[in-house]
Amino acid sequence: MAKLSATATRTSPGATTNGAPTEPTLHAVHRLEAGRTAVCLRGQRGGTGWVQTRCRQATGHTIQPPRYLQARDGWIEDGKIIARYNENCEDMSSSKRHLYLVLEDWEQGYTIRKIDVESFDAASGDGGGGIDANKDPEALPEPPVIRVEAEHGQAALFTALGTRILALQRSAGAGVPVFDTATLGLAVAPQPQGDALANSPTLVAIGGDRIYGLEGTKAAAAAGDRELRHFEVLRAPAPPGRTLWSWSAVPAPPPFNPSSVLCHAAHPDGRTVFFSAECAAGSKAGGSGTFSFNTQRLEWTCHGNWLLPFTGQAHYDAKLDAWVGICGGDTDTDGDDAGAARGRVCSCGVVAPGRRRVPAPECKLGAEPLFCEDEKRHVGAALVYMGDSRFCLLECVKPKPRAARTKKVWKEKPRESNGHSPTDPSDHLLHVTAFGLKYGDQGELTAAAARRQRRSYAVPQNAAKFLEKPVAFWM
């Protein structure tokens, strides 16, 4: 995490310039999603005052211009910076971040594994030909950070907010476990009302304190009935400990069926989310296209009948000034066909939130394929943003064909003396590749060979279906 420096002045409203304002010191820095940064400052607590913060990355890039902000109950926010006065906050400025991997490898539910990506060895070569060059898989880290007892087949119901991982449940009346990776604390949030978000919702974290969830049904897609389109928001306690987690319905149904969402991306303004949806021809559920939702004004905007070039979640990177994600199946960038786009990342320009019916943004296709060379072995993949133009690709692949295989029953593997599970030739492989992205001399999108690290893990084949859509978080 890039180190930040900060200067801050806190005075009471109406104080004269001759006063001697306190100067809280930088206590903790925590990166949030969509380019946002949380800054914890040591200083006087309570009351309402005025705060001026100026924060820069180590490169000197200004995250947020100096501005006076009114603080209420110790919190300030202007869409880019959240600063909190808290003398007892845990120091996170030097905390090392890890990849938290969710796996369906426990008979009673799920495990969350903590992977130290920074300890990976540098990848050899230039990365051409995909990531299957690593032929020595390791056992998954043991023991798991936590086990979550829940019904299997709920990959889409895991999400994250800041340093917290949430596991929504399909079971009516069940609470939502909230695990904080920073404090190792466990809380319970309520379930959405009724059967909202109970199957395969699209979940998006915004502002560091809210999760928006959209879910549609096949009935809604056929009939165009917006009442069958669930759009809910989960608000975190703010300040922590003062209130409870709470769900509420968003009074602005989407102009498309959420079951048709192909990809989504948060805008760097910290309040707008973009969705690309593809509805079947002749559907009454709304047309295909790209839409954005402003979480402050509760307004939808249609930007055109084109689609963003990604599959799943895309991420904004400030250095590239673009959204980055895994190329979708029908990606066509600069004349490349969908076959050429397979196994690559791509980027596209950020769309202005307030503009309607605009042309599709310019897209760039990554120069190198990152998936396994053998397409038949590919199971699923996901891209995780690590910050500072660094990304982590997770790809699950089938084992190489063998002459004969016996059917495997579900049971936990015995442990070796070091606490790890021994690998099995019938295991699937999870390739984890960390890499940096940059623009080349000709403006092309390329992965920096010097910043590429990779490792492969053996995953029980019983858990492989869950990895059709891998779930992992960087925190």
Domain extents in the chain? 5-85, 99-474
Q: What is the pLDDT along the chain (475 residues), one digit of tens a residue?
A: 333 233 333 333 333 333 433 433 333 344 443 344 444 443 333 332 323 333 333 223 333 333 333 333 334 443 333 443 332 333 334 478 999 999 999 999 999 999 999 888 776 444 444 454 445 789 999 999 999 998 888 877 999 999 999 999 887 777 899 999 999 999 999 988 877 787 789 999 998 899 999 988 765 555 555 557 889 999 998 776 667 899 999 999 999 989 899 999 999 999 999 999 997 655 555 668 999 999 999 999 999 999 999 999 999 999 999 999 999 866 555 544 556 777 899 999 999 998 898 999 999 999 888 888 888 889 999 999 999 999 999 999 988 876 555 555 545 555 444 344 555 666 889 999 999 999 998 889 998 876 788 999 999 877 877 888 999 999 9
The verdict on pTM exceeding 0.85 is no
Tell me the CATH number of domain 99-474, given options 2.60.120, 1.20.950, 3.30.60, 2.120.10.
2.120.10
Task: Sheet with 246-249: list strands edge to edge.
Answer: 202-206, 210-215, 230-235, 246-249
Nearest residue to 353 via CA among 306, 277, 312, 293 = 293
* Cis amide linkage into residue 190, ω under 30° from 0: no
| CA 16 centroid distance within chain | 45
* Cis amide linkage into residue 143, ω under 30° from 0: yes
What is the C-alpha separation between 360 and 347, in angstroms, rounded? 13
Q: How many CB atoms lie within 10 A of CB 106?
A: 18
Q: How many CB atoms lie within 10 A of CB 102?
A: 23
For residue 258, CA distances in Å to 20, 217, 219, 263, 275 come to 54, 8, 12, 11, 9
Q: Do residues 156 and 167 make contact, with C-beta atoms less than 8 angstroms apart?
A: no
Nearest residue to 305 via CA among 277, 334, 347 = 277
What is the C-alpha separation between 467 and 157, in angstroms, rounded? 14
Q: Do residues 117 and 434 make contact, with C-beta atoms less than 8 angstroms apart?
A: yes
Q: Do residues 395 and 430 make contact, with C-beta atoms less than 8 angstroms apart?
A: yes
